[in-house]
Amino acid sequence: MTRYIVRRLAMTVLILWFISVLVFVLMRVGPGDPALLQQGINATPEKVAQVHKEMGLDNPYPVQYADWLRGVVTFDLGRSPLTQTSISSEFAKRFPISLQLMLMTLFWTIVVGIPFGVISAARRNSPADYSVRLFAIVGLSVPSFWVATLVLLVPVRIWGYAPPLNAQVSFFDAPWDNLRQFGPPSLVLALAPIASVMRLTRSSLLEVLRSDYVRTAKAKGLTERVVVMRHALKNALIPVITVIGLLAGGLLGGAVIIEQIFNLRGLGQYAYASILQKDYNVAQTLVLFTASAAVLLNLAVDLLYGVFDPRIRYA
């Protein structure tokens, strides 16, 4: 397993290097000039050139890339040239918000999606199965931004209640206020993942239940519950774990639309603003961070396979 992990980590370094080059190039070939965005359309060429020099944009591209990558590797991200705020401090302030949103979304996805997928497979073609499949179709079909808008508007119109949309409150300082703030957006964000996990759990479990060893277990007189929970579910969860790992990687980078609607000042909102403002250092760093999280989570998911299916070996 050690050799496998070392190979995967070496491949991860190559993947992240390629992503860093790609996002560096795309940010610069795209339309817009950060100097013009900062100074306005009436800025003189001399002023624009001065701002370019202050931002280091007058240097050749290899020099700009090397300076940025050196800052990322040494965790010295510098300051945003547009907002003049420390990128590291802003990241440290926003990361816990996106992390909590991700963890709560994954919590709803796991505790709702997997059990109901199991019920749907175990009670195939029953009213419970049809209900779960209907919910999965609706969850995958309805846009999350529309659901988020309803979550904000309907309680206000009917009960006069709205979740707090002001400054974020720490869970350790005020747990109830924090859950009121993060509960609705995490549920909205989890709607599509729950539906995906339900369907995948159902289809995977149905396939495993047709296996020879499951029929043997039933022939030995084991109850349906024991067969499903103790023998079939572990193998059926392998593709589900893959999907959950991919979801976690994307969610950790921030849910841009949901964070905007619920005014959560997380990494998604930060990345959205930096891309609009052509804030190169911020946008590049956040994209690289998201890619790193996704790749490392995929490695963790691959290692979990051996826990759920002992037949899997790492060479």
Domain CATH for 224: 1.10.3720.10
Asked whether residue 82 is assigned to any structural domain, the reply reads no
Cα 56 to Cα 97: distance, rounded to the nearest angstrom:
31
Q: Are residues 14 and 150 in the same domain?
A: no
Residues 258 and 129 in one domain: yes
Domain shared by 115 and 43, yes or no? no
Same domain, residue pair 68 and 116: no
pLDDT at 310: 64
How many C-beta atoms lie closer than 10 Å to residue 68's C-beta?
Answer: 20
Q: Which of 21, 42, 73 is the last residue of a domain?
A: 73
Give a yes or no: residue 155 inside a domain: yes
> Is 90 exceeded by the pLDDT of residue 295?
no
Task: Give yes or no: residues 20 and 152 share one domain.
Answer: no
Q: What's the pLDDT at 170? A: 76
Q: Is 315 inside any structural domain?
A: no
Asked whether residue 80 is assigned to any structural domain, the reply reads no
Q: State the pLDDT confidence band at 153, using cuts at 50, 70 and 90.
A: confident
Residues 39 and 99 in one domain: no
Average pLDDT, the chain: 81
Contacts of 214 (CB under 8 A, 6+ apart): 208, 227, 231, 232
Which of the pair, 119 or 82, is modelled with greater confidence?
A: 119
Amino acid letter for position 285: T
Q: Are 96 and 171 in contact (CB under 8 A)?
A: no
- Which residue, of 49, 73, 97, is where some domain finishes? 73
Judgement on whether residues 66 and 116 belong to the same structural domain of the protein: no
State the pLDDT at residue 312.
Answer: 66
- Could you identify the residue written with the tokens 């990128």? 87
**Do residue 214 and residue 143 come from a single domain?**
yes
CA 6 to chain centre: 25
Segments forming the whole domain that contains residue 10: 2-73
Q: Note whether 177 and 166 are within 8 A (CB).
A: no
pLDDT of residue 111: 92
* Measured CA distances, 244 to 54, 107, 114, 127, 200 (Å): 43, 10, 11, 27, 11
| 298 occurs within a structural domain | yes
Higher pLDDT, 97 or 77: 97
Confidence of residue 146 (pLDDT cuts 50, 70, 90): confident
Instruction: Flag whether pLDDT at 24 surpasses 80.
Output: yes
The verdict on 176 and 204 lying in the same domain is: yes
pLDDT in tens, 100-132: 888 999 999 999 999 999 999 888 888 988 998
Question: What are the angstrom distances between the C-alpha of 245 and each of 14, 98, 158, 241?
Answer: 20, 16, 38, 6
Asked if residues 161 and 151 have their Cβ atoms less than 8 Å apart, the reply is no
Domain count, the chain: 2
| Domain final residue, candidates 21, 49, 73 | 73
Residues 158 and 290 in one domain: yes
Rounded-to-integer distance, Cα 192 and Cα 240, Å: 14
Alpha carbon distance 170, 12 (integer Å): 33
Query: Angle formed by the axes of helices 2-29 and 61-73, to 10°?
Result: 140
Q: Which of 61-65, 152-156, 179-183, 310-314 is predicted least confidently?
A: 310-314
Say if 16 falls within a structural domain.
yes
Whether the per-residue pLDDT at 230 is higher than 90: the answer is no
Residues 161 and 48 reside in one and the same domain: no
Using only the alpha carbons of the chain, give its radius of gyration.
24
Residues 50 and 94 in one domain: no
Q: Is residue 22 part of a domain?
A: yes
| 174 within some domain | yes
